[in-house]
């Protein structure tokens, strides 16, 4: 007897070779895709993010139909839409009476728990397929992590290089060094030529989604238009090719730089496409590697780029699944201040924070150092509740899915996991931002001023952070120098720092 399966494809599984479609056939199996309120509403996502995911889903469904598949597609505003994946599964099982359900493992605890909870009570077989788009399977990461006292990305990354063979020269790393990060910290100047990321014109399907988002999510954060993201694989491949040709050669040198008026520098803006499945991580890395072998991009750039994908991206996904659903509630530093309103409004006198929030509102994008060392560091040194910070990052960025966002926010940026992911907190004074950006040139605050009215808030707040968290952080080897500098300061200087910091914390909303 022929088995008729209903294959559920989620909004971040838009890959034609996704594991749930392997060995399936349009002649006997059918596909279910759904836009549900559970997913649009668990945080108030940026308007561009909702539009991107729905438009990419609708285009993917069309492509599947063109290949002969029957796709049952629930639109957000369909009368019978139950609002949840489980509700839609129930409804379609009742109507279509399939012999079984199949899906690729959901990438997040929340969705996995809902669907597997439902599946446990079904007489119908429900088959979860591993997600082969990731290079390191979850159980392989767990075995790697379980054996170790400390988890460090660098060792994991070397294993991924060996496993994939990327930038390997036999058993050795290409160029005889694993990591070229030390060469990747140049500040950028605004006379450099910066190519713009490719922009795509919205077609009728995207226009329809933009209208839907305008009506249904008008109060959400962010500017919806202009909307120029790729929404199909063909467009995402064009974005990839442009990046490899024009930006990759400079990616390494200016990876950590920030410039007002230059929102993208030489970054790839590929994370949204990789995260929803329009591009596969390995194909992206192989293209970058080829550019190095063809002599079109230097090793420091290509290694730096590949490390972000087979290193950081795979590593944070492993940490997410290794740590369990309670990871997002971690709060090792017991930070409990609410998120200041200017994270939404951008109304702050701090030029760096304003630039990053304004850009985030317009583009649903900020690059890694903006996320880590501006909005992230400010939240860390002022002691904002990490769960609030996590929900903000999850809402405002187009590439934000909990499996990748939470380890970056809770672990890397807020040190709320107590150092599971990173070896030290990313706390810094204004000097770092001044070195890596031009933000300080037009700021209300003076970056060279350490204390008193008008001092850059990052300066006293950095020391306040170290002082108030001393009990928890004092044994961290990478903070030893900072604590001994603090201890060598005169009592009067320390007290000036703390007084200015406390004054700023009291009026944090008007900074």
Ligand X SMILES: Cc1cc2nc3c(=O)[nH]c(=O)nc-3n(C[C@H](O)[C@H](O)[C@H](O)COP(=O)(O)OP(=O)(O)OC[C@H]3O[C@@H](n4cnc5c(N)ncnc54)[C@H](O)[C@@H]3O)c2cc1C
Residues forming contacts to ligand X in the complex (CB under 6 A) are 267-271, 274-275, 305, 308-309, 312-313, 316, 367-368, 371-372, 376, 393, 397, 399-400, 404-405, 408-409, 412-413
User: Can residue 373 be called a binding residue for ligand SF4 (CB under 6 A)?
Assistant: no
Of 119 and 431, CB closest to ligand SF4: 431
Q: Which of residues 284-323 bind ligand SF4 (CB under 6 A)?
A: none
User: Can residue 270 be called a binding residue for ligand SF4 (CB under 6 A)?
Assistant: no
The Cα–Cα gap between 272 and 209 comes to 17
Choose from ligand SF4, ligand X, none: what does 434 bind? Cβ within 5-8 Å by kind.
ligand SF4
SS3 7: strand
DSSP state, residue 73 = E
SS3 117: helix
Of 275 and 382, CB closest to ligand X: 275
User: Can residue 352 be called a binding residue for ligand SF4 (CB under 6 A)?
Assistant: yes
Q: Which of residues 331-350 bind ligand SF4 (CB under 6 A)?
A: 350
The Cα–Cα gap between 369 and 449 comes to 23
Of 101 and 160, CB closest to ligand X: 160
Cα dihedral 142, 404, 60, 137, rounded to 10, equals -10
Question: How near is the Cβ of 376 to ligand X at its closest, in Å?
Answer: 5
Of 18 and 244, CB closest to ligand X: 244
Choose from ligand X, ligand SF4, none: what does 445 bind? Cβ within 5-8 Å by kind.
ligand SF4
Of 165 and 261, CB closest to ligand SF4: 261
| Tokens representing residue 507 in the block | 């009026």
Question: How many CB atoms are located within 10 Å of the residue 308 CB?
Answer: 18
Within 8 A by CB and 6+ apart from 459, the residues are 429, 430, 431, 447, 449, 450, 451, 497
Within 8 A by CB and 6+ apart from 50, the residues are 40, 213, 217, 220
Of 60 and 432, CB closest to ligand SF4: 432
Question: How near is the Cβ of 382 to ligand SF4 at its closest, in Å?
Answer: 12
Of 168 and 431, CB closest to ligand SF4: 431
Question: How near is the Cβ of 350 to ligand SF4 at its closest, in Å?
Answer: 4
Choose from ligand X, ligand SF4, none: what does 101 bind? Cβ within 5-8 Å by kind.
none
Within 8 A by CB and 6+ apart from 386, the residues are 330, 331, 333, 335, 379, 409, 410, 414, 416
Residue from 453, 164, 131 nearest 321 by CA? 131
The Cα–Cα gap between 207 and 225 comes to 10
Max Cα-Cα span within the chain: 84
Question: How near is the Cβ of 367 to ligand X at its closest, in Å?
Answer: 5
Cα distance from N-terminal residue to C-terminal residue, the chain: 70
Of 380 and 433, CB closest to ligand SF4: 433
Q: Which residue carries 């300066």 as its tokens?
A: 459
User: Can residue 462 be called a binding residue for ligand SF4 (CB under 6 A)?
Assistant: no
- Total residues contacting ligand SF4 (rule CB under 6 A)? 14
User: Can residue 434 be called a binding residue for ligand SF4 (CB under 6 A)?
Assistant: yes
Of 8 and 440, CB closest to ligand SF4: 440
Choose from ligand SF4, ligand X, none: what does 18 bind? Cβ within 5-8 Å by kind.
none
Q: Which residue carries 């999510």 as its tokens?
A: 217
What are the CA-CA distances from residue 158 to residues 164, 177, 234, 423 (Å)? 10, 11, 32, 18
Within 8 A by CB and 6+ apart from 26, the residues are 67, 68, 69, 70
User: Can residue 156 be called a binding residue for ligand SF4 (CB under 6 A)?
Assistant: no
Q: Which of residues 34-53 bind ligand SF4 (CB under 6 A)?
A: none
User: Can residue 376 be called a binding residue for ligand SF4 (CB under 6 A)?
Assistant: no
Question: How does strand 5-8 pair with strand 100-104?
Answer: parallel
User: Can residue 180 be called a binding residue for ligand SF4 (CB under 6 A)?
Assistant: no
Residue window 437-456: x/- pattern of binding to ligand SF4, with contact defined by CB under 6 A: --xx--x-x-x--------x
Of 418 and 454, CB closest to ligand SF4: 454
Residue ranges that bind ligand SF4, judged by CB under 6 A: 350-352, 430, 433-434, 439-440, 443, 445, 447, 456-458
């Amino acid at each position: 007897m022929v088995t008729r399966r209903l294959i559920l494809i989620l909004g971040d599984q838009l890959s034609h070779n996704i594991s749930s479609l392997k060995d399936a056939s349009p002649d006997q199996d059918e596909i279910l895709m759904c836009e549900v309120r559970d997913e649009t509403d668990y945080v108030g996502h940026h308007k561009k993010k909702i539009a991107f995911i729905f438009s990419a889903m609708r285009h993917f469904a069309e492509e599947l139909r063109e290949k002969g598949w029957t796709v049952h597609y629930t639109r957000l505003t369909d009368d019978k839409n139950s609002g949840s994946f489980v509700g839609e599964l129930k409804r379609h099982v009742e109507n279509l009476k399939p012999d079984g359900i199949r899906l690729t493992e959901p990438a997040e605890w929340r969705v996995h728990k809902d669907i597997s909870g439902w599946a446990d009570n079904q007489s119908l077989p429900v088959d979860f397929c591993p997600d082969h788009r990731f290079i390191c399977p979850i159980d392989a990461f767990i075995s790697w992590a379980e054996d170790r006292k400390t988890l460090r990305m660098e060792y994991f990354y070397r294993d991924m290089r060996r496993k994939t063979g990327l930038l390997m020269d036999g058993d050795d790393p290409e160029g005889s060094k694993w990591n070229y990060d030390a060469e990747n910290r140049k500040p950028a100047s605004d006379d450099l030529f910066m190519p713009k990321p490719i922009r795509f014109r919205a077609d009728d399907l995207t226009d329809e989604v933009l209208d839907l988002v305008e009506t249904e999510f008008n109060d959400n954060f962010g500017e919806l238009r202009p909307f120029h993201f790729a929404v199909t694989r063909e467009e995402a491949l064009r974005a990839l090719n442009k990046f490899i040709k024009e930006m990759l050669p400079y990616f390494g040198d200016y990876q950590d730089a920030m410039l007002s008026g230059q929102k993208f520098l030489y970054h790839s803006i590929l994370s949204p496409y990789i995260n929803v499945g329009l591009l596969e991580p390995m194909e992206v890395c192989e293209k970058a590697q080829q550019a190095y072998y063809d002599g079109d991009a230097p090793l420091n750039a290509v290694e730096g780029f590949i490390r972000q994908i087979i290193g950081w991206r795979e590593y944070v996904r492993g940490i997410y699944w290794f740590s369990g659903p309670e990871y997002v509630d971690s709060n090792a530093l017991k930070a409990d201040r609410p998120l200041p309103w200017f994270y939404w409004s951008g109304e702050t006198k701090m030029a760096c924070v304003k630039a990053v929030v304004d850009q985030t509102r317009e583009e649903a994008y900020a690059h890694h150092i903006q996320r880590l060392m501006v909005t992230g560091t400010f939240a860390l040194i002022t002691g904002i509740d990490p769960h609030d910070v996590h929900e903000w990052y999850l809402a405002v960025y187009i590439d934000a899915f909990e499996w990748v966002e939470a380890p970056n926010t809770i672990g890397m940026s807020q040190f709320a996991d107590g150092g599971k992911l990173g070896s030290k907190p990313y706390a810094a004074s204004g000097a770092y931002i001044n070195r890596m950006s031009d933000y300080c040139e037009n700021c209300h605050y003076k970056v060279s001023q350490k204390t008193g009215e008008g001092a850059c808030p990052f300066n006293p707040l950095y020391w306040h952070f170290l002082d108030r968290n001393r009990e928890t952080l004092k044994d961290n080897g990478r903070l030893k120098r900072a604590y001994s500098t603090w201890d060598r300061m005169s009592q009067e200087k320390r007290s000036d720092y703390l007084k200015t910091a406390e004054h700023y914390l009291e009026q944090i909303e008007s900074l």
